[in-house]
Structure 1
Amino acid sequence: MSDLDSPAFHPVDSLEPVDSLAPIDGVSQGTALKSAGDRRTTPATIDGMTTLKSKLQEDLNAAIKERDELRSATLRLTLAAITKEEVAGKTKRELSDDEVQKVITREAKKRREAADAFAQGGRPESAEREKAEGVVLAAYLPKQLSDEELQQIVGQAVEEARAAGAEGPRAMGQVMKIVNPKVAGQAEGGRVAAVVKKLLAG
């Protein structure tokens, strides 16, 4: 019986710390990106309720057993970020799925920003690693709106705000108020704001 088959084996506890910027052994960065992107996931179900955190933990255990270093390292760091959020207040609490999703969104944004920074700094391998981790996290987030879809939603909101008499800086706030509930989880705030500014100026 292998160590993996032994009842005493604990996948999460047995995982050694992994450098999130380390190369992906034996796998090209392009292959890693495709492999991660092919895994679209759904939350686990416990007592009829879906728990995104449980799904992350299950997928981490599976990744460790499969020797998938990219996924295991990414999910391990994400779960650590979730735990940090849970103990940030005066008392420890369990995050809701929406709150867990916000943590994942924040972690994905960090990967994109790091990828850009590494690319600009002449470190393409590290940039590709960050992109690959971002693809892993994207599987746990709602599908992002395309530029065309976002522009259409914002365009309708701009027309609605102007019809209500909103002009100048006030129009920006009014449009964002209309758009945000419609694109929640499907587009980053900075991306939305940029489109709003562009259409208001046009």
Structure 2
Amino acid sequence: MSLVERLNQDMKQAMRNKEKEKLTVIRMVKASLQNEAIKLGRGELSEEEELTVLSREVKQRKDSLHEFQEAGREDLVEKLNREIEILQAYMPKQLSEEELEQVVQETIAEVGASSKKDMGKVMSAIMPKVKGKADGSQVNKLVLKHLS
């Protein structure tokens, strides 16, 4: 089942259950997916493109979450945490710390990286492998740790 089909089913269920917050988040994601499809000039997005849009939505909320925490807006922090939780249900299973560590080590070996100068090569090789399964900043920290 595609992401859009799953979103449609969940949207209907959220309407039936009167879950306003979940319904709002699902509508926002659907709108983002439609906007991306229009931008690319296609009727449907590939799975990878859908994942990119979904990741962008999660990242935007995490960035906002950080800002709201610094500003002391606990009401908005709670709301964003719930939205992130709803969005995470549509993301692929996240890699564990050990799995991510292994992918980083394998990629460093593949690329033949030895110093921080090779950081760009390693990151460009590793990000497609972990797309949607790991946070970019987490990957960045691990790569830096291994190249130091």
Is 1:116 matched up with 2:66? Answer: yes
Partner of 1:146: 96
Partner of 2:140: 193
Counterparts of 1:16-165 in structure 2 under 5 Å? 50-89=1-40, 91-161=41-111, 164=112
Deviation at 1:111, TM superposition (A): 1.4
Deviations 1:42-101 (CA, angstroms, capped at 9, x unpaired): xxxxxxxx3211110121111011101121011011111111112224x45321222112
The answer for unaligned runs of 5 or more in structure 2 is none
Deviations 1:104-139 (CA, angstroms, capped at 9, x unpaired): 111111111111111111111211110111111111
What SS is found at the alignment partner of 1:108? helix
The answer for unaligned runs of 5 or more in structure 1 is 1-49
TM-score by length of 2: 0.87
Write the distance in 2 (CA, Å) between the matches of 1:114 and 1:177: 26
Aligned residues: 148
**8 Å CA contact retained: 1:63, 1:71:** yes
Alpha-carbon RMSD across the aligned residues, in angstroms, is: 2.0
Deviation at 1:171, TM superposition (A): 2.3
Which is richer in helix?
Answer: 2
Write the distance in 1 (CA, Å) between the matches of 2:57 and 2:128: 21
Distance 1:179 1:88, change over 3 A: closer
Identity score, percent: 34
Code of the aligned partner of 1:153: V
Tell me which structure has the larger Cα radius of gyration. 1
Deviation at 1:180, TM superposition (A): 2.8
**8 Å CA contact retained: 2:116, 2:144:** no
TM-score by length of 1: 0.65
Deviation at 1:142, TM superposition (A): 0.7
